[in-house]
Amino acid sequence: MTDHQELRDNLSSIITGVESSVSVPSGSSASSSSGHDDSVNGSLASPSTAPTEDDYTPFPSPVLAATSLPASSLAGLSLSSDGELEPEVDDDKIITEEDKARALELKAAANKAFAAKDFNKSIELYTEAIASNPKESTFWNNRAMSKAKMEEHGAAIADATKAIAINPKYAKAFYRRGLSYLAILRPTDAVPDFKKALAIEPGNKAIRDQLQMTVKLIRRIEFEKAISVGDTETASNKCLSLISSGACTLDPSTVTDFPLPIIPSDPNGRYKPTKEFVEGMVESFKSGGKVPKRIAWEIILGCRDIVEKEKSLVEIEIPEGVTCDVIGDTHGQFFDVCNLLSMTTPPSEDHYMIFNGDLVDRGSWSVEVALTVFAYKWLYPEYVFINRGNHETNDMNKVYGFEGECKAKLGEMTFKLFADVFTTLPLATLVTASQEPASSKSEGSKPAILHQGKRRFFICHGGPPVSKDGVTLAEVAKIDRFGRQPGQEGIMCEMLWTDPQEPNGRGPSKRGVGLGFGPDVTRRWCELNGITAVIRSHEVRAAGYAIEHDGLCITVFSCPNYCDSTGNKAAYIRMRSNGALSYHQFDAVPHPDVKPMAYSSGFNFGGF
């Protein structure tokens, strides 16, 4: 038996369901009221060398409009709290030999932090090195690499641009900037940088391959956009027509490794789920099993029948004795999802679950994750809730792996069906406690904001719609989401894309897409709408969660060791019927030897 086969055979025993011990250094962004602190982890090769094949940048998934995004998304990246993202650098500084020596010491320490996956620390140290010697291009490029690992691609572009200004022959800086442009899906801006890097190093295969892949991606996007014109029938309706015509039948004798759903006597009738079916399917997935296409379609269509009846803002109340778990990004990390379910226990009448978007992409078991969550929604429509994330979008799936994976496992029509149903997913869930709180204490320093004497939480993937003041919950509930992609602006885009920032006010996002919102913006919105706290996901947090904006903005991220490279813990949040929150961390579990983004297109992960 091979090691790979042995791992597959023993996956059920690997899924431990044991929460990780909490041991986190000071300086965390989590409130002490949580009982946990944050730690910083990360990963990559030493930035003083070229990236290895393990150099996975945890790419964000920005909006793709045709083949580029407007440059305005990067405007103002030099601005921070009073407007500046990084401390100002004295470009005219007279640099002494002592400055140079100190900068090299800081760079060496930054390289160690980088190799130890402590990207926040490496950014701090590279920043200090830059302050000592701002005329050394490698410091800027190394900081750009660290920022890219923190998904701060807009800021990485700014740093790489500075490195290029200092050294116009710096191929790595052009390559880094090109990758960051590509990561925020501006491939037409990435191509010139890859061409320039290749002109500097014409024999570099990694650059050449990346350039070719990017050009192919642009052509593919343009072609698929052209052929989609005039196609008005939804994939859901097409699949229903195929089922009714007998074109997608199931031979029950071919399914032997898990119980089937309830199949009506009419061969074209719709299936019904059972607990045994869903749990059996999940167990089958653990050992590499697959579902027939007809069953996959029934799961997806069954989920669609439920979510299309829900408003864009779903409102639920937690009854007495019921717990509700909020799950952040899971990104196709199926074996970690199984571990998570073993800790939380699956959904039931006394245990609700909210999956807060980004089920798919990056991880190479996105199909299994999406089918598992959709199947539970199909089985327990009143206990399971799914918010749309910025990765439940066509163009992101095209680049970040889900489209390729879905086509490989279940065919092109199944991907189109998923893509159609993604647009029916609600954008947020408003959760209200049924019981009064035990105390007025919040996660922050001020008393909790209550609604009619009770706590309630606004849960969405990116954050509340805060590009302007005054947006109400009623406006969110009325968003027309069906068949729509997020676009580049507006309430829907903001709810999938915004990120909290430390300074007050609003600013450009370090990721290069969307905007940042400060603590004052969060408080005004929460007070206007009677929200105890916003719970969002969308960003890696080293401890799996973070409590920010004086307890009014809570991030939860449920992908441990994101992309097999970031070293972070994951977490879920448990809410009780009085609105009390607890935070539960867990670590990654082993999985079969398939790399993240194995089905992706558009990126070359070879070293340079």
What amino acid positions are annotated as catalytic residues? 391
DSSP bridge partners of 586: 570
Q: Distance (Å, rounded) from C-alpha 141 to C-alpha 110?
A: 12
Q: Distance (Å, rounded) from C-alpha 377 to C-alpha 449?
A: 31
The answer to whether residues 430 and 456 touch, using CB atoms and an 8 Å cutoff, is: yes
Token reading at 201: 């190093």
Q: Distance (Å, rounded) from C-alpha 149 to C-alpha 436?
A: 42
SS3 351: strand
The answer to whether residues 209 and 182 touch, using CB atoms and an 8 Å cutoff, is: no
* Other beta carbons less than 10 A from residue 148's beta carbon: 28
Q: Distance (Å, rounded) from C-alpha 143 to C-alpha 125?
A: 9
String of DSSP letters for 304-334: HHHHTTS-SEEEEEE-TT-EEEEE-B-TT-H
SS3 587: coil
The answer to whether residues 464 and 313 touch, using CB atoms and an 8 Å cutoff, is: no
Q: Distance (Å, rounded) from C-alpha 417 to C-alpha 430?
A: 27
DSSP bridge partners of 554: 535, 547
Q: Distance (Å, rounded) from C-alpha 342 to C-alpha 372?
A: 14
Q: Distance (Å, rounded) from C-alpha 68 to C-alpha 182?
A: 9
Token reading at 439: 């105390």
Token reading at 546: 């973070």
Strands (E), 413-481: 428-433, 456-460
What is the CA angle 68-70-71, rounded to 5? 115
The answer to whether residues 50 and 607 touch, using CB atoms and an 8 Å cutoff, is: yes
Distant-in-sequence, close-in-space partners of 490: CB < 8 Å, separation ≥ 6? none
Q: Distance (Å, rounded) from C-alpha 298 to C-alpha 296?
A: 5
Q: Residue 192, class by beta-carbon neighbours within 10 Å (0-12 exposed, 13-18 middle, 19+ buried)?
A: middle
Q: Distance (Å, rounded) from C-alpha 470 to C-alpha 518?
A: 15
Q: Distance (Å, rounded) from C-alpha 418 to C-alpha 397?
A: 10
String of DSSP letters for 485-517: ---SSSHHHHHHH-EE-SSSSEEE-TTSSSEEE
